[in-house]
Amino acid sequence: MNSNTVRVGLIGLGGVCSAVHYPGFSRIPDVEIVGLCDPDADLLAKRQSEWGIDTGYTDARRFFQEVKPDAVAIAVPNIHHRKLVLRAIETGCHVLCEKPLGMTVPETVEMYDAARAADVRHMTAFTYRFVPGITYIKSLVDSGALGDIRHARFQRLQDWGETSIGWRQYKEMAGTGELGDMGIHRLDFAEDLLGPIRSVCSAMKRLVPRDHTKDGVACEPQDVEDWVAWISEFESGTTGVFEMGKLTKGRGPDGGHDVCEINGSEASVVYQLHTPQAILIAPQGEPYTKRTVPDEFLKRPGSPRDPAEGDPVATFRYDQAWEFVSAIREGRDCMPSFYHGMRSQVVADSIVEAATTRRWVNVPQWTKSKK
Ligand SMILES: NC(=O)c1ccc[n+]([C@@H]2O[C@H](COP(=O)([O-])OP(=O)(O)OC[C@H]3O[C@@H](n4cnc5c(N)ncnc54)[C@H](O)[C@@H]3O)[C@@H](O)[C@H]2O)c1
Our answer on whether the CB atom of 37 is closer than 6 Å to any ligand 1 atom is yes
Contacts of 308 (CB under 8 A, 6+ apart): none
- Supply the pLDDT for residue 254: 73
Residue 91 Cα to ligand 1 middle (Å): 22
Alpha-carbon span 36 to 53, nearest angstrom: 8
**Closest ligand 1 atom to Cα of 181:** 43
Distance from C-alpha of 104 to C-alpha of 214, rounded to nearest angstrom: 31
Which band of pLDDT confidence, cut at 50, 70 and 90, is reported for residue 256?
A: confident
Instruction: Give me the pLDDT at residue 369, please.
Output: 44
User: Quick check: 370 pLDDT over 90?
Assistant: no
What number of helices (H) and strands (E) belong to the chain?
13, 15
308, 259, 268: which is closest to 287 by C-alpha? 268
- Residues above pLDDT 70, as percent of the chain: 98
| Kind plus residue range of the DSSP H or E element containing 85 | helix 81-90
Domains of the chain, earliest start first: 6-127 (3.40.50.720), 129-293+336-357 (3.30.360.10)
Atom of ligand 1 nearest to the CA of 76: 24
Q: What is the pLDDT of residue 367?
A: 59
Distance set, CA 366 to CA 138, 147, 189, 363, 369 (Å): 25, 29, 19, 9, 6
Average pLDDT, the chain: 96
Cis link prior to 100 (omega < 30° from 0)?
Answer: yes
Q: What is the pLDDT of residue 133?
A: 98
- Establish whether residue 60 lines the binding site of ligand 1, counting it when its CB lies within 6 angstroms of any ligand atom: yes
Query: Which residues make Cβ contacts (< 8 Å) with residue 339, sequence separation at least 6?
Result: 112, 367, 370, 371
Does ligand 1 lie within 6 Å of residue 209's CB atom? no
User: What's the pLDDT tens digit per position in 149-160?
Assistant: 999 999 999 999
Which tens digit of pLDDT belongs to each residue from 25-38? Answer: 999 999 999 999 99
Neighbouring CB atoms inside 10 A of 148's CB total 12
CA 362 to ligand 1 center in whole angstroms: 32
The pLDDT assigned to 255 comes to: 77
